[in-house]
Amino acid sequence: MSKRWQARQGIAIKRKFSDGSVHTWYYIEWCGVFGCRAMPFLWTRFMSLLMWAANNTFGIEHPLAYMDDAFGIDLGGSMVPFAHNGAIHIIPAQQAAMATLWGGLKIPFKLSQEKAPHGRCITITGIRCNLASFSVSLPEKSISD
């Protein structure tokens, strides 16, 4: 894991004692989610398996993934209603199929416009993709972060 990324993996652990004092300890997560350097390799293999199953078993066209961000292309452009967490979302049919797959596998996901955007101009992993002008760029927020 990159040393630059490790600095962002800081976890603050606060504990309140019986005398009312609060102490904070900081812990740096050195190895990632699976506890070893192979974490990106293992996670990429897992997501590759999910993308393969999405395409070959569930018929989802053009599924793509970058680490834990899954996305795709819906060439048909048909919008369908999809119920999630008590709300009805109007989303592309391929996105609804992927959300159905995630739900069936009990993989948590969010369908907010920030987490699951759709349209001709969207941001994927911090990169602005504009299909109208066939260009990619970094939004100001991505540059400043």
pLDDT in tens, 96-120: 898 899 899 988 888 777 777 778 8
Domain limits, the chain:
1-30, 39-144
How far apart are the C-alpha atoms of 7 and 52, rounded to whole Å? Answer: 34
pLDDT at res. 133:
92
In the numeric block, which tokens belong to residue 48? 């590759």
Contact between 97 and 57 (Cβ < 8 Å): no
What's the whole-model pTM score? 0.62
Contact between 120 and 131 (Cβ < 8 Å): yes
- Section 80-99 average pLDDT: 88
Contact between 14 and 23 (Cβ < 8 Å): yes
pLDDT at res. 29:
64
pLDDT at res. 9:
64
Range 5-8 contact pairs with CB under 8 angstroms and sequence separation of 24 or more: 6/30
- Section 13-29 average pLDDT: 85
Which residue has better confidence, 83 or 29?
83
pLDDT at res. 48:
92
